[in-house]
Every structure is written in C-alpha cells, then in structure tokens.
Amino acid sequence: AAGEVEMIHKPKTAQKIAIDYARTAKKIDIKGLKQSLWTSLEAGSMGDVGGDYECPPPGGEGGSVLFSECMKKVDGAAFPDVSVSYCFICLLHLANEKSLTIFGDGQERGGD
C-alpha cells in the first residue's frame, strides 16, 4: 500500500577475530638510538664495506655503509624493543641532519 515504510533486515556481522598486537606503546630512546646509529655509520664509513648507504666522514671523503650492518651494531640490551622501522626512521633523520646521501643497490624488493 502507498505510504507504508518497509524495514530492511539487520546486516550480517563478521565474527570477532583475535589479533595479537601490542596493547601498550613502546618506549624507545630515539636520541640514544640515533647516537648509536651515527656511531656505527662513522665507524663503518672509515673502512669502506660497500653497500647501500653513503656516509661522508668529517674530512669530506665519502664512504658507504650497509644499513643491515648498522642494525647489527645497535645494542640490543640498550634498545630491546627497537624494530627495523624505528632504525630506518632514525637513519632518515640522521640523513637530514648530517646531509647524508641514501641510495639503494638497484634491486627492487616486494611490491608490484
């Protein structure tokens, strides 16, 4: 009949899925992490180990350091919750502050 309101049915809901995720924020000493990365970059650039990241020492001569090598030198005891993401973000900050050049090895990884 004209003027009647037709009610729609309640939509189906998805089951609740348990996802294991961190429930508290990580507390990381970013200044300390940046200092640790900078120390490893300076040490790595003195002896050219070849790789992805260039770090000119104070004398102006360029050297290159692998990001993975810097990650190995980060003190796990001092930074137990540090992830690759945090280290890379700190590396980007250092590149900005210290005028470093970051470049890849030409090999694309992942993505489409």
45-66 pLDDT, tens digit each: 655 444 444 444 444 456 677 8
Which residue type is seen at 61? E
Backbone angles phi, psi at 104, to 5 degrees: -85, 175
The residues facing 65 across adjacent strands are 53
Integer Cα distance of 108 and 57 in angstroms: 28
Which DSSP string do the residues of 23-44 spell out, in sequence order? SS-----HHHHHHHHHHHHHHH
- pLDDT less than 70: residues of the chain: 1-2, 45-63, 106-112
pTM score, whole prediction? 0.58
The answer to whether residues 103 and 54 touch, using CB atoms and an 8 Å cutoff, is yes
Which residue type is seen at 79? F
Q: Tell me, what's the pLDDT at 26?
A: 77
Q: Tell me, what's the pLDDT at 72?
A: 81
Q: Tell me, what's the pLDDT at 50?
A: 41
